[in-house]
Amino acid sequence: MTTTGRRKATAVTAALTLLLGLIAFIAPAQTASAADASDFNAGNIISDEQFFDGAAMSAQDIQNFLVAQVPVCRSSYACLSTYSQNTPTIAGTAGRCDTYVGQANESAASIIARVGMACGISQKALLVLLEKEQSLVTSSTPGQGRFESATGMGCPDTAPCDPGYGGFMYQVYYAAKQFKIYSANPTYFNHIAGRVNNIRFSPDASCGSSPVLIVNQATAGLYNYTPYQPNAAALNNLYGTGDGCSAYGNRNFWRIYSDWFGSPTVGSALVRTEANPSVFLVSGSVKYPISNMGLIASYSALGQVGFVSQGYLDKYPTKQPANRIVRSDAGAIFFVDSGMKLPIPSCGLVVDYGGSCSPGGYTQLTDAQVSSFVSGPGVTPVMGTTAGGRYYITVGSKREILDARSQSEAGIPAPMNVLSENAVADLSVGSPIFRDSAYVSQRGAADYFLLAGGRKTYISAGSETVVGIPGRSAGSLSSSSLSRIPSAGAAFSGVVRAPGNTTNSVLSTIGRLDVPGGTPVSALPYTSVTDEFLQSYPRAVELKQGSFFKGTNSSSVYMLDASSMRPVGSWEALVSLSPGGNPSITSMAPPFMSTMSTGPAVLRVASLARTASNGTIYIIDGISKKVALDSFDPASEAGVSGFSYVTDAQLAAYADQGTVRLGYELVCGAVTYVAGGGELHALDANTAPLYPLPSTSLDSLTCSALSVGKPATSFIRTPDGSIYVLQGGKKLPIASLSRYNELGGATVGYTSVSARLAALIPSGPRA
C-alpha cells in the first residue's frame, strides 16, 4: 500500500551523492536464497543498479517465472500467469517513461516486461511489488479486485483507491512511473537519499520512529511509496507477524526479492558495509580484501561497489588481499586492468607481474565473473601506460624504460601493451633503463636531467634553452624512477668531454664551443658524454681568451681571460674589446657562470687609467696588458686623452710591461705608425728611417681603437708653425714657404707632431 501515490509529500532539500562512482558494467547474476533477517538494512533495501535495471527480464523470462510459481491456476477470473488485456497507448514523458504502445490481448508478462523497459524499472522489482501488495504472483485463486489494485498505486492507507489508476496495466505503468518521478525530483518528497531520515515503524504515530541513513534513490523511493520500516518484532519473525507496531511492506519487498532473485543490495561482486569503507571482492564462497581505488577500477567489470550488511560479509571467509592476477575456474590465469583481462602465458610472467601460480598468489574468480571482463592481448614483459610510462616488468618490480632506443640497447623484446597507470601502481619501483648521454624530463614536472655515465645531472631552470632542451629530450621518467639514479651532485654546467678528448667543450645556444688549453674553462669539472652526443652539437667558435658570454638569467656580459671571467662594465668597453667593434656574446647555462671565478671588471681598450694610490698613468693595451706613460703627450698625439680612476684590482688584472713606456712610434702587427695630431700615421720603408724614435708594440685591439690618418711624410710641422724636412735622422728647419715648395713639400704634405716628439729628433742645418 502507498500513502504518496497520488499526492506530493513535503519538499526538502538534499541530493544523493553516490560513493565510489566507478564505470558501471553488467553485474553477474545473483543466486536466490532464503532471506536472513540479519542482512536487512533499513537504509539500503535495494541497490539502484538492480532497481532501475529496465532490462532485467524478458517477457518470456517473466512468463516462465509466473508459471513456476503457479503451475495450475484455480481462479475463476485469472491468475497472473494467464491474465491478458487490451492495453492502451500512453504517451511518454521526458525523464520518466518512454511511450507505451498498446496491444490487443496483451499478457501480464508482456505488460510487466514492456513497462519495465519503457520506464527503466526492473521487472524483478515490479514482480516483487505485485506480490508485496496483492500476492498476485503466488496466488492461484486471485479475484478481479486484486488486479484492479495490483500495485497499490493510488491507494492511500486512509482512503479508497483512486479509480483513475484502476486496472492491472495502469497499476503497473503508473507505479513504475511514480518511482521515476521520485528519482527525477528527489527533494520533493519526504524521504531523501543521502541523508538521515526519521522513518516511522507504523501508521500509528505512537509506535515511534528511528533515524535511518538512506544510501540510495531506490530505497528512498520505496519509503516514499510505503513510508514505514519494520521494527524488531517484524524482523524477528521474518516470514510471519510481529506486534501491534509492526509494518511489513518494505520488509516483505526485501524478503521476497531475496527469496526469488538473491540479495537485492549486492549488484556486483564488489561490496562494503555502510559503517566501514573497506571493499571486498566476493567470489564463490570466499571474499578478498581490495586495498586501493586502483584495484577497484581494475575490477570494474564486476559492477559498482554495493552496500551490504556486516552479517552478509561475515558469511564469507576472508582470503589474502586481491591482486591483479586472477584465475578462472577452468585454470586460465589473467592480468586485469580497467575491466579488461589479459592472458598470462607462463608462471614466470605471473611472478614478474607480482603474483604466483599457487593459490596464495592469485585471486580466484568464477568463470562467470571472468567472462565479464573484456578480452585483451596476451601479457608481455613490457607494459606501456596511458600516462606515457614504459616499464620492463620483472620479478614483481617495474623498471621504467626511457625510450625505444634504451629498450633496444638493453636487449629487451619490443612487444608492448598499453594499460592504465594504475596497472603498475602496486609493483615496486626498480632502477630505470636508459641509454647513455640522453636528456630526460621528469614526468608531470618542468625539470630536466642529463643522464650520462649512469648518473643524473640536474638541468637548472634557465639552462634548458642553452643546451637545446626540450627539442633534444629523449623522453620522460617518473620522479620515483629518477630517484633511483645516483646524482652527479652539482647542476649541469654545460661543460662536457667525450672519451679520448683531452679538452673540454661547452654547450651553448650556438652549438659546441671547444675549449683550448690554458684557459680556466679547460680546468673546470666536466660531464663525460658519448662522442655521438657531443657531435650532435654543431661546432661553433672556440671559447678562448677574449670571448664574451653571459648567463641566460642575467644581462651582465663577461670576458674570458687567462684566469677568470671578468665583467664588462659598459657598452663602450665591450665594443672596444671586440674586433671590428662588433661584439659576439654567447649565452651560457647559469651553473657555468657560477662555476667560473670572477675577476675584476675589464676596462675600455686604449683608455687611460690610474689608481688613487699610485700616480702612474697607464694606457690599457688590449685585454691583458697595460703600458705606462711618462707623459700625456704620446697618448694625446695618438688621440687618447683624459684618464679614469680605477681600483687597484682592476688595474692589477693587466700585466705591466715593465720599463716599456708609451712612445710616439707605435707598432701594430706588421705596420709601424708615428703618433701625431691625434692620429696614427703609417711609416713605410722610406719614411721609417726618418723618425729615429723608440717604438712601443700595441695589441691589435688597441690599435683598432685608434684613428689612422694619412701616412707619414718626410716633412713635419710643430704647433708653433715650424716646418722641418727629415733627412739622415735629423730635422732640418725650412725658412720659407717657397723653400718648402722647392723641396717638394707641397706635393707630399707634412705630418703634424708635437713639440716633444720633434725635440726627440736631432736638429740639423737649415735646409
Concatenating the DSSP letter of every residue in 224-245 gives: HHS-B---HHHHHTTTS---TT
For 149, 231, 251, 252, the CA distances from 228, given in Å and listed in that order, are: 20, 9, 9, 12
Other beta carbons within 10 angstroms of residue 284's beta carbon come to: 12
Do 196 and 212 meet the contact criterion of CB atoms below 8 Å apart? yes
Identify the pLDDT of residue 12: 27
User: Looking at the predicted structure, is the pLDDT value of residue 14 above 60?
Assistant: no
Identify the pLDDT of residue 10: 27
The cell for 565 is 671571467
User: Looking at the predicted structure, is the pLDDT value of residue 584 above 50?
Assistant: yes
Do 4 and 227 meet the contact criterion of CB atoms below 8 Å apart? yes
DSSP character for 689?
Answer: G
Q: What is the mean pLDDT of the chain?
A: 90
CA 574 – CA 164 distance, rounded (Å): 100
User: Looking at the predicted structure, is the pLDDT value of residue 555 above 80?
Assistant: yes
pLDDT in tens, 661-671: 999 999 999 99
pLDDT band at 30 (very low <50, low <70, confident <90, very high): very low
CA 399 – CA 430 distance, rounded (Å): 5
Angle (CA) 424-426-429 rounded to 5° is: 75
Do 16 and 194 meet the contact criterion of CB atoms below 8 Å apart? yes
Ranges of H-type helices in 27-107: 48-51, 59-69
pLDDT band at 33 (very low <50, low <70, confident <90, very high): low
Compute the average pLDDT of residues 591-613: 92
Rg of the chain, C-alpha, whole Å: 49
Helices 249-261 and 217-225, packing angle to 10 deg: 130
Query: Does the predicted model carry a pTM greater than 0.95?
Result: no
pLDDT in tens, 374-392: 999 999 999 999 888 899 9
Tell me which residue of 113, 53, 116 sits closest to 304, measured CA to CA. 53
pLDDT band at 29 (very low <50, low <70, confident <90, very high): very low
Angle (CA) 482-486-491 rounded to 5° is: 85
CA 345 – CA 333 distance, rounded (Å): 8
Identify the pLDDT of residue 349: 94
For 398, 421, 446, the CA distances from 385, given in Å and listed in that order, are: 12, 5, 20
In three-state secondary structure terms, 130 is: helix
CA 516 – CA 538 distance, rounded (Å): 17
CA 765 – CA 767 distance, rounded (Å): 6
- Label residue 277 exposed, middle or buried (CB < 10 Å: 0-12, 13-18, 19+): exposed
Compute the average pLDDT of residues 645-658: 92
- Label residue 106 exposed, middle or buried (CB < 10 Å: 0-12, 13-18, 19+): middle
User: Looking at the predicted structure, is the pLDDT value of residue 301 above 50?
Assistant: yes
SS (HEC) of 561-586: CCCCEEEECCHHHHHHCCHHHCCCEE
Which secondary-structure segment (H or E) carries 591?
Answer: helix 590-595
Between 125 and 23, where is the model more confident?
Answer: 125
Tell me which residue of 84, 70, 56, 54 sits closest to 136, measured CA to CA. 70
Number of residues in the chain: 767
Tell me which residue of 546, 500, 516, 565 sits closest to 702, measured CA to CA. 546
In three-state secondary structure terms, 6 is: coil
* Backbone CA torsion sign across 360, 366, 370, 372: negative
CA 565 – CA 546 distance, rounded (Å): 9
User: Looking at the predicted structure, is the pLDDT value of residue 675 above 90?
Assistant: yes
Identify the pLDDT of residue 272: 86
Give the least confident one: 303-312, 594-603, 685-694: 303-312
Look up cell 571486498; give the residue: 280
pLDDT in tens, 49-96: 889 989 889 999 999 999 999 999 999 999 999 999 999 999 999 989
User: Looking at the predicted structure, is the pLDDT value of residue 163 above 70?
Assistant: yes
Helices 168-184 and 217-225, packing angle to 10 deg: 130
Look up cell 650556438; give the residue: 510
CA 385 – CA 402 distance, rounded (Å): 13
CA 177 – CA 256 distance, rounded (Å): 22
Compute the average pLDDT of residues 529-541: 94
Do 115 and 126 meet the contact criterion of CB atoms below 8 Å apart? yes
CA 121 – CA 5 distance, rounded (Å): 16
DSSP character for 302?
Answer: G
Cα end-to-end span (Å), the chain: 146
pLDDT in tens, 432-457: 999 999 999 999 888 999 999 999 99
Identify the pLDDT of residue 7: 31
pLDDT band at 2 (very low <50, low <70, confident <90, very high): very low
Identify the pLDDT of residue 267: 64
CA 311 – CA 324 distance, rounded (Å): 27
Give percent above pLDDT 90 in the chain: 73
Strand partners, 682: 673
Identify the pLDDT of residue 25: 26
Tell me which residue of 518, 542, 715 sits closest to 624, measured CA to CA. 518
CA 576 – CA 619 distance, rounded (Å): 13
Which secondary-structure segment (H or E) carries 452?
Answer: strand 448-452
Look up cell 630526460; give the residue: 440
User: Looking at the predicted structure, is the pLDDT value of residue 400 above 50?
Assistant: yes
Catalogue the E-assigned strands of 232-365. 270-272, 279-283, 286-290, 306-307, 325-327, 333-337, 340-343, 363-364
The cell for 456 is 643524473
Catalogue the E-assigned strands of 515-607. 527-528, 548-551, 558-560, 565-567, 585-588
DSSP character for 501?
Answer: -
